[in-house]
A and B are shown apart, each in its own frame.
Chain A
Amino acid sequence: DGGITQSPKYLFRKEGQNVTLSCEQNLNHDAMYWYRQDPGQGLRLIYYSQIVNDFQKGDIAEGYSVSREKKESFPLTVTSAQKNPTAFYLCASSSAGGTQITQYFGPGTRLTVL
């Protein structure tokens, strides 16, 4: 079955530690995205990538880093510079180009900083 997988589902980390969230898709989509969701708030874009080896900052990129070495993978690293990292993180993908671009979301990773 085609889809997007994120791991782990729940993640705990100590303050000051970097942590990497995994996102893999087998939909053959060119574009991938990372969003952060806080309680009662919408989805805020962290980073997005339209093609392999290229990515752009979203609205809240500070304290995060990404890489796009393979089409199917778009890992997100939450660094110690991110002051308030506890949140629900969602990865999405879409086929770039065209006139109707649907984003397909993964199940999410809930990160808690202790």
Chain B
Amino acid sequence: QQPVQSPQAVILREGEDAVINCSSSKALYSVHWYRQKHGEAPVFLMILLKGGEQKGHDKISASFNEKKQQSSLYLTASQLSYSGTYFCGTESGQTSYDKVIFGPGTSLSVIP
């Protein structure tokens, strides 16, 4: 079942912060985050495994709440280069591998 992402779209001014949420009705093994610019391939941002961990690099970080089957992506002090569509992908099951189901995406636009 496809995960739900919110918001569908967001517009930010440079320097502002944003949070993108991803939730699933199924027990999750991992959550993957990707960013896609228009007409290009998705680019991997990070993966979080069950255990409630938080990850991040530079000004983009994410958390994974296993009990709530939710993950949030945090973008701080946004830059123009952050614009794109952000997808979460969820992996269910107890094995270390299962197919990843992607959400519908959140469109993020950063304006000067």
Residues of A within 8 A of B (CB): 31, 33, 35, 40-45, 48, 50, 56, 58-59, 90, 96-108
Interface of chain B: mostly helix, strand, loop or mixed = strand
User: Inside 8 A of B105's CB, which chain A residues have their CB?
Assistant: 40-42
Partner of B44, one of A98, A104, A106: A104
Shortest C-beta distance, B37 to chain A (Å), equals 12
Q: Do A102 and B41 touch (CB < 8 A)? A: no
The 8 A CB mask of B98-112 against A (1 = contact, 0 = none) is 011111110000000
Shortest C-beta distance, B4 to chain A (Å), equals 11
Q: Do B41 and A43 touch (CB < 8 A)? A: no
Shortest C-beta distance, A74 to chain B (Å), equals 15
- Name which residue of chain B comes closest to A107, CB basis: B41
Total number of B residues with any Cβ neighbor in A under 8 Å:
24
The 6 closest A-B pairs by CB, nearest first: A105-B41, A43-B102, A42-B104, A42-B102, A102-B44, A105-B42
Q: Do A102 and B47 touch (CB < 8 A)? A: yes
User: Inside 8 A of B89's CB, which chain A residues have their CB?
Assistant: 43, 103
Q: Do A90 and B49 touch (CB < 8 A)? A: no
- Name which residue of chain B comes closest to A104, CB basis: B44
Q: Do A42 and B87 touch (CB < 8 A)? A: yes
Q: Do B41 and A101 touch (CB < 8 A)? A: no
A55 and B71 alpha carbons, distance in the complex (Å): 30
User: Inside 8 A of B32's CB, which chain A residues have their CB?
Assistant: 102-103
B2 on interface, CB distance cutoff 8 Å: yes
Scan residues 18-43 of chain B and give those whose CB is less than 8 A from a CB of chain A.
Answer: 30, 32, 34, 39-43
Partner of B97, one of A58, A97, A108: A97
A43 and B2 alpha carbons, distance in the complex (Å): 10
